[in-house]
Amino acid sequence: MEREEDLARGAPKLIASSAFLVLATIVFPVGLNAQQPAFRNAPASTAGTKNPYAGSASAAAAGQKLYAHNCAACHGNNLQGMGPGPALDSATVRNAKPGALFWFISTGKLSSGMPSWSSLPKQQLWQIVTFLQSPASKAAAK
């Protein structure tokens, strides 16, 4: 009889603990699956923008030449970063949404030393994005 009374007194705690566990199991994974912040705070509208040159070796080669001419002075010949420009040989850059990367290159962020490259034609901006996200950029980083 005493055991039944102990169980009866512990039932509300057990129910509350179980409810908490169920709720935590449902809610907590949602937080884990939340999307990462956009690359360099790019607007959400850039996430769906596709790179028209994705996977094109010739666009990546053209982008590599454009990078050497326009970007290497700050980001290094091998994408290693130097001076004010951070390294670009990272998974963060390679895995960024192409539209977000395009947006950042064309918009820039003067407060951190990144100029706007909006004066370049869109085709050339996309070629730079293609290079930065291509296997060629990994090879250039070596």
Per-residue model confidence as pLDDT tens digits over 55-99: 999 999 999 999 999 999 999 999 999 878 899 999 999 999 999
Q: In this structure, are 43 and 88 located in the same domain? A: yes
Q: In this structure, are 89 and 118 located in the same domain? A: yes
Percentage above 70 pLDDT, the chain: 73
Per-residue model confidence as pLDDT tens digits over 126-140: 999 999 999 878 777
Q: In this structure, are 58 and 122 located in the same domain? A: yes
CA 105 to mean position of chain CA atoms: 14
Is there a contact between 106 and 116 (Cβ–Cβ < 8 Å)? yes
Q: In this structure, are 30 and 58 located in the same domain? A: no
End-to-end CA gap in the chain: 76
Domain that holds residue 104: 39-140
Q: In this structure, are 16 and 85 located in the same domain? A: no
Q: In this structure, are 64 and 130 located in the same domain? A: yes
Q: In this structure, are 53 and 28 located in the same domain? A: no
Is there a contact between 108 and 114 (Cβ–Cβ < 8 Å)? yes
Name the β-bridge partners of 85.
82
Is there a contact between 53 and 127 (Cβ–Cβ < 8 Å)? yes
Residue type, 117: W
Averaged pLDDT of the chain: 82
